[in-house]
Structures are given as structure tokens and as C-alpha cells.
Amino acid sequence: MLVLAAACNLPSSQDQIATAVAATVQALSIPAPTLPPPSETPQPPASTPTSTPTLAPTSTPLAPQISVSQNTNCRAGPGVSYDFRGALLVGQVAEVAARSTAPNYWYIYNPDRPGEFCWLWGEFATLEGDPSALPAYTPQPSPTPGIDFILYLSGFQPCGSDTHVVFTIQNNSGTTFMTGQILIFNLTTSTDIYGPLLDRHPFAPGATDCPPGHGNQLLPGAAAYIIAPFSELPSGEAARATIKLCTGDYLGGDCLTKTIDFKFP
């Protein structure tokens, strides 16, 4: 009877198993749910480009420049008692290095000797630029030579078929000059074009004498002329005259040499 009872319950268990299996199959046949695509990793917001302000270029102030209307000597100090160091010619431009504490002089880069400086007389000078930022420069004490003379170009005088280059000499000392020597060097062609010529009677009393009378004494405080004749002038060319005066005959005694630059007409 017990066996028969168990047999009677068996179909019911089989039905349950069948039902469970069918549910499992149905579950396996259901497609997996479609998930939404993963969102992109958020990026930091792009920075908005900002315009860089354009700075206006700051121009460096140009150093003051100087030129002359007449050829002007440049010396080791502000005065004719200082040694000659070069010259600024008409048409040249030099850079100013400093203001001078001596009136009417400028401390400039030497146009004849790169890397050196000299003092330029401001009488014929024209300045371009603002010198207020330049340093003030005080020169060394003036030398006290035993002899001295002032030299400058007087001009050009016709004399027959020649033309005389005339230089004015003024004795600026208490000693009498007796003899002289002159040399004229052509700066354009780099050649000697007159002298060196020793003259025992170099001093002409007049600038326009033709031929000039010459003397052999230039007394203290007196003025005279030294003349160089040319049969043909190198027109338009620059030149440098070197004049040596001595207190004794044949270039004896104490001597002093000065130089001046000029241009042939």
C-alpha cells in the first residue's frame, strides 16, 4: 500500500520538474537587456584663448650726434694748449660721449682714432639729439707749455699762376719764434703734397702779398702768415697741415708742432 501511495504521487513530482525545466529554458532564451553605451569620460572645459596684448616697441634713445660747419680740431682737452688728437671735418658726424664742464666744448668719440675720445670746440658745431642724459666730464688740468701759438686757416689767395694756401699764426707765448717747417698731407689720397719744407724766414706780414715778404721773427703776441704755394689745387680734397715753429735758427731751440685740417676749394 505504501508503494502504491508513492507511485500515485510520482506524476505530480514529474510535472513540477518539467515545469521548472521549461521555466529555465524560457529564461535562457530571453535576450540580455541592451545596456546604454557608457558615457565618454568628461574632459576639462577647453580654455578660452585670451589675446596677449601687443607691447609697443620701446626705442632706445639715440646718442647725440655732432657735426661742424668748418673743419675743427679735436684735442686732448678743451683748449689750444692741449695736444692735437684728430679733427672733425665738414660732412662728418661723430657721436657725443659726454658733456663738458668747460664751456663750449664737447667730449666726443675721436673720428680719427677709433676707441679714443677727444674734446671738440663747439664754435662751429651743430648738435642733434638730447644731451641731458649724458654724463658731465671734467678735463685734466691744462698743460703749461713754455711756448705756444694759435694756428688757423686764413684762406686761399691767387698769386700769378699759383694759389697760396694761407695760415694765420699768432704767437701766444713770451718767446720769439725764429724758424718754421710746414707739411701738407692729402687726407683723400693719403699722400704728402707739400713739404716738409724748412723755412728760415717763414713769417709773411701780409696774407695777400704776392710774392709775400717773409721775416724770420715772430715776436711775442704778434701775428703773421705762413704760405704754401700750389700751381694746381686738388679741388674738393681734404688735407692736413702740420706746422712746426722753433725759437732757434734751423729748427733749433724749443719747438712746438700744431696741426690743422682743411679742404681745398
- CATH code 2.30.30.40 region(s) in the chain: 65-137
Tally the C-alpha atoms within 13 A of residue 22's C-alpha that lie toward its C-beta: 6
Query: What is the grid cell recorded at 93?
Result: 658726424
- For residue 71, which of 224, 241, 203, 230 has the smallest C-alpha distance? 241
Q: Which CATH entry fits the domain spanning 65-137: 1.10.10.10, 2.30.30.40, 3.40.50.300, 1.10.287.610? A: 2.30.30.40
- pLDDT at position 60 is 52
Q: What is the DSSP letter of 142?
A: P
Q: 96-110: per-residue pLDDT in tens? A: 999 988 889 999 999
- pLDDT at position 229 is 93
pTM of the full predicted structure?
Answer: 0.48
- pLDDT at position 31 is 52
CA–CA distances in Å: residue 225 to residues 66, 99, 115, 242, 253: 31, 35, 36, 14, 21
- pLDDT at position 4 is 39
Whether 149 contacts 256, CB under 8 Å: yes
- For residue 224, which of 163, 154, 165 has the smallest C-alpha distance? 154
Domain 149-263 CATH assignment equals 2.40.128: no
Number of C-beta neighbours around residue 1 at 10 A = 5
- pLDDT at position 27 is 47
Query: What is the grid cell recorded at 16?
Result: 513540477
Residue 134: pLDDT over 70: yes
pLDDT-above-70 percentage for the chain: 75
Q: 26-75: per-residue pLDDT in tens? A: 544 445 555 455 555 555 555 555 444 454 554 556 789 999 999 999 98
